[in-house]
Amino acid sequence: MYSSLKGKHLLNTQDWSVEEIEKLLAVAKRLKQERELDILHDDILRAKTFFMLFFEESTRTRNSFECGVHQLGGNANYLTPEATQIDHGETAKDTIKVLQRYGEGIGIRRTYANGNRYMKDVAKFSDIPVINMQCEDYHPTQALADLLTIKEKFQNYIQNKKFVVSWTYAPNYIRPISMPQSLILLMTRFGMDVTLAHPQEFHMKEDILSQAKQNAKEAGVNFEVKHDMEAAFEDADIVYPKSWGPVVYTDDEQEGLDLIEKYPEWVVDQDKMNLTKDNSLYMHCMPADRDIEVTSEVLDGPNSVIFDEAENRLHINKALMVTTMAGL
């Protein structure tokens, strides 16, 4: 018997038990199946509002939450710092204490300037669930959608599947490390053997690495770090290659951009995919740097599940709103 998730925040998947995450996945699976049968769910969040506070741009996160709450019968309010009094200095406490008088849930994306601290401040004063829509350290809704995708593709037989998170070369700007950090934290808890691959300077935060190691130990799986992309890809069941900045190594932007240029060979092409198992999955949270970090041949190839992942953002986000806002 599952306990209610009503009112529960999701700032990091570590705050949710395996059982709670399994419940979320089960709700997402059911909502997805019933949507395919044209069964409507527009009474679950009728007349309820989900606030979406974006400090940065988004395609998938915004639209999956916005379409999702609409399909559940509720309303999405899109907020930005400029469109609210946040840019004039209104505090996290005052903002949430007002918004919770109007609506039933809030998601926040802030990947810079202590976004995680801001979300924790909001959550501390919030009576309504606070969902992390990506901060500098975590992207839990994406990682949960990815777990749903992996389970679907392998019909739940994911024990000891080799899951590889790899750095890729993508120039021009520094991308956050929230995605690889969330992936190594979540997949180690669900039976997969996890390999993290990156050039030396692109390492994760020490406390997150320790948590991933502890997760793997508790789950009885392997967790390893490699500095060789091809060695990591050998016999992989799932590869999740993605660019991120050397933000733990340096906070100097130009030094970070120069470091990225040291490793142009860290790209995904069919030769690298041929190192993986025949039925392996190529995953990417998107946006992908097409024909830069990965060839179109791979992105559009038979191993790629990128659009299924993007679709599953909808089903996971709906499940999150159903469980935390309605308590179903």
From the list 61, 243, 280, 295, which residue makes contact with ligand CP (rule: CB under 6 A)?
A: 61
- Closest approach, Cβ 9 to ligand CP, in A, equals 19
- Closest approach, Cβ 310 to ligand CP, in A, equals 7
Each residue 18-57 as x (binds ligand CP by CB under 6 A) or -, in order, gives ----------------------------------------
Find the part of the chain contacting ligand CP (CB under 6 A) among 59-67, 77-85, 165-173, 241-249: 59-67
Using CB under 6 A as the binding criterion, the count of chain residues that bind ligand CP stands at 8
Q: Is 285 in the site for ligand CP (CB under 6 A)?
A: yes
Each residue 110-139 as x (binds ligand CP by CB under 6 A) or -, in order, gives ------------------------x-----
Residue with Cβ nearer ligand CP (56 or 234) = 56
Residue from 144, 179, 146 nearest 308 by CA: 146
Q: Is 86 in the site for ligand CP (CB under 6 A)?
A: no
From the list 126, 142, 195, 323, which residue makes contact with ligand CP (rule: CB under 6 A)?
A: 142
- Closest approach, Cβ 221 to ligand CP, in A, equals 25
CA–CA separation, 99 and 96 (whole Å): 5
Residue from 4, 24, 14, 11 nearest 123 by CA: 11
Residue from 6, 17, 9 nearest 129 by CA: 9
Q: Is 276 in the site for ligand CP (CB under 6 A)?
A: no
Q: Is 67 in the site for ligand CP (CB under 6 A)?
A: no
Q: Is 58 in the site for ligand CP (CB under 6 A)?
A: yes
CA distances from 240 to 8, 100, 115, 187 (A): 29, 37, 24, 12
Residues found near ligand CP in the complex (CB under 6 A): 58-61, 134, 142, 285-286
